[in-house]
Amino acid sequence: MALIPTVFLGWHAMEQVREHFGRAYADNFALLSRQRILAPVSRELALSSRLAHSEVTRQWLQDEADPAKRAMFFREAEGYRHDLRSHAYFLIVANSGNYYFNDDEKAFSDQPRYRLNPQDPNDSWFYSSVKSDAEYNINVNPDAKLHVTRVWFNVIVREAGKPVAITGASLDLSDFLREFVGSGEPGVTPMIIDAQGAIQAHPDPARIAYNSGTTDANENAKIYSMIGDAAGKTALQQAMEAARAQPAQAHTLWLRLQGARQLVSVAYVPELHWYVLGAVDLHAARVVDMTWVWPALVALLLLVGGLLLAFGLAVNRLVLRPIRNLQQSARAIADGRYDVTLPVGGADEVGDLSRAFGVMAAKVRSHTAELENKVRERTVELEAANRAMAAVNKKLGDSIDYASLIQQAILPDRQMAQSLGLRHFVMWKPRDVVGGDFYVYRADGDNFLLGVMDCAGHGVPGALMTMLVRAAVDVALAEAGPADPAAVLTRTDAAIRAMLRDAQFPDTVATNTDAGLVYIDRSQGRLLFAGAKISLYESNGDACREHKGARRALGDKRQGEYANIELPLAQGSSFYMTTDGFLDQAGGELGYGFGGTRFAEMLRQNARLPLAAQCDAFEQALAQYRGDLPQRDDITILSFRFE
């Protein structure tokens, strides 16, 4: 679980580092390419401009047929040719259309190589250029007649504002691409575009917009055709505007070029009115040296593994080991071995629980010892008179069995059997041998009081709480009488609080009790119900109604208020009170609790059966739902019905 966020954060950090270095790489690439292009191109353009504005050139253009002026021009032009990078120059006379061209690959000639025709589409670039007001243009153009493809620097020669010729130099396109555009790095695509987005240079010559310097380029030869969305086109135009405003800086943005997301840096060359673009695929380009990644990853895994090991040892020492020792002691006491030594608790919640458990164990050990002594004395006195009692006393050697017998002794089974007979049933199933649930009965002439109590805890602690709560109920009945269940609950709550007032229980030890009491007034055909977190269910087989008790238990931190609910003793209706052990029992396919809705439906389906049969049906339904899961809590159901 720790490695999952670690790997995610590491991957995210790596992407951030890759993007940071990628931006720097793209910016540096664009600016470096800008300088690499600017220097030679500016030099070629400057030499072409000097040739165009030479007085020798102007004199010859005034009289193209003059042999002396012609010879003077070509001698000067040949001097320029040796200084030009491509060792090539050209001149086109507007009036005659004569095209003069010399380079190293062809023999020198002072005669026209061919004559331009205004009707020839291949010559349209010239006539478009002379109509322009620009001093020069840079054009990527394949010359079909010379059979060369070059980057041409076209400088327009004007006389009295009228264009008379175009002269200039050129660069071989393949050399230009190889030297100024080709980066030799995988994942990097260098490009040059003009202000309209026409591609002037690209590693793929098929994408170059030829003649775009003199005519409008085809849309498919523009950079925008490679961008997949309108937002990307707008973003590129904004970046171009920003680069034009700040030529010394490169501007970087994310674009999707030909379906791939790439980081594009834009730099502007003001002397050429070109934009240099460097498109970098961060996952293909080597913008970050990855040789350090594997050692760093191994070191990170070792560090995380060491931290997890240290954390596990600390949790085991500080939390799991004290809880395990306390659990072993609790099991020993539950098995009847009260001579165990409880672990010394620290100043935390586990220590508080250990000390509270020690106090409880000491009291149980003391009470058990007293009971054993009394039983032993009685056994000696009655051994001769009653061997059956001696056999029972012998079985009481186990302290938990003693506690179970004592707890069962406070249950009014015999009185209820004599008074109610088949008109009631009680399902009492403690989770352990003893439990925290018990039920009460008090006769009042022909009337009587019934109730169920669910003390906090189960096992030995819960059984001890039942002794205390039973004593509190007896005190309350003596003070309030059985005819007012709400008053009995109120006085029982006060008695419990008085008994526990001087006990120093930590907040983690619960001492509250859920209760439900019903007074049956047979003479008036009614009953009074009062509950503390226990409800009274009523069902006639057609529906099931729940009469809820108060929201606060007896002995709760905040004192509750209890009121009587008067209901008629309707014929054919069965009444039920249950502790939360039945409702909270885990089971089913998902291990959820039995729940109130399922419980109410079970009551409705079985409400018309005899009460004894209902008890069997409830036990069967509980066992079927629970399956192999253990019983979670003490379970008590008390039911009665009067025909």
SS3 string, 246-265, reads: CCCCCEEEEEEECCEEEEEE
Q: Fill in the DSSP letter of residue 121.
A: G
Q: What's residue 397's pLDDT?
A: 45
Q: Tell me: pLDDT of 542 over 70.
A: yes
Q: How confident is the model at residue 524, as a pLDDT?
A: 92
Could you give the percent of the chain with pLDDT greater than 70?
A: 84
pLDDT score of 124 more than 80 = yes
pLDDT for res 551: 94
- Determine the pLDDT at residue 631: 93
Instruction: Report the percentage of the chain scoring pLDDT > 90.
Output: 35
pLDDT band at 160 (very low <50, low <70, confident <90, very high): confident
DSSP letter at 559 equals -
Task: Please give the pLDDT value at position 219.
Answer: 77
pTM: 0.42
Q: CA nearest 459: which of 399, 414, 507, 508? A: 399
**457-461: average pLDDT:** 84
- Overall average pLDDT of the 592-602 stretch: 95
Q: Does the pLDDT value for residue 316 go beyond 70?
A: yes
Give the residue-averaged pLDDT of 272-289: 72
Per this entry, what is the length of the chain? 643
Q: Give the separation between CA 70 and CA 53, rounded to whole angstroms.
A: 16
Digit-coded pLDDT (tens) for 504-519: 666 666 789 999 999 9
DSSP letter, residue 319: I
User: What does pLDDT average to over the chain?
Assistant: 84
So what's the pLDDT on residue 129? 85
User: What gap in Å lies between CA 94 and CA 92, rounded to an integer?
Assistant: 6
Residue 213: pLDDT band (50, 70, 90) is low
Are residues 309 and 222 in contact, defined by beta-carbon separation less than 8 angstroms? Answer: no
| pLDDT of 533 | 96
* pLDDT-based confidence at residue 640 (cuts at 50, 70, 90): very high
Tell me how far CA of residue 29 lies from CA of 100, 143, 262, in angstroms: 38, 31, 14
Please give the pLDDT value at position 145. 57
Confidence of residue 338 (pLDDT cuts 50, 70, 90): low
DSSP type of residue 166: E
The reported pLDDT for the residue numbered 635 is 96
Single-letter amino acid, residue 146: L
Confidence of residue 203 (pLDDT cuts 50, 70, 90): confident
For 388, residues 6+ apart whose C-beta sits below 8 A from its C-beta are: none
Around Cβ 80, how many Cβ atoms within 10 Å?
A: 17
Asked whether the predicted pLDDT for residue 389 surpasses 70, the reply is no
CB burial of 31-57 (b: ≥16 within 10 Å; e: otherwise) equals: bebbeebbebbeebbebbbebbebeeb
Least-confidence region, from 87-96, 140-149, 455-464, 508-517? 140-149
Q: What is the average pLDDT across 604-611? A: 95
pLDDT average, residue stretch 526-549: 96
Please give the pLDDT value at position 466.
92
Euclidean distance between CA atoms 273 and 401, whole angstroms: 102
Please tell me the predicted confidence (pLDDT) of residue 207: 80
Is 166 in contact with 139 (CB distance < 8 Å)? no
First to last CA, the chain: 63
Least confident among 167-171, 267-271, 469-473: 267-271
Q: Is the CB of residue 10 less than 8 Å from the CB of residue 300?
A: yes
Looking at residue 42, its pLDDT comes to: 79
Strand-pairing partners, residue 527, are 520, 567
The pLDDT of 384-411, averaged and rounded, is 71
Residue-level pLDDT at 187: 72
Nearest CA to 213 out of 201, 203, 229, 204 is that of 201
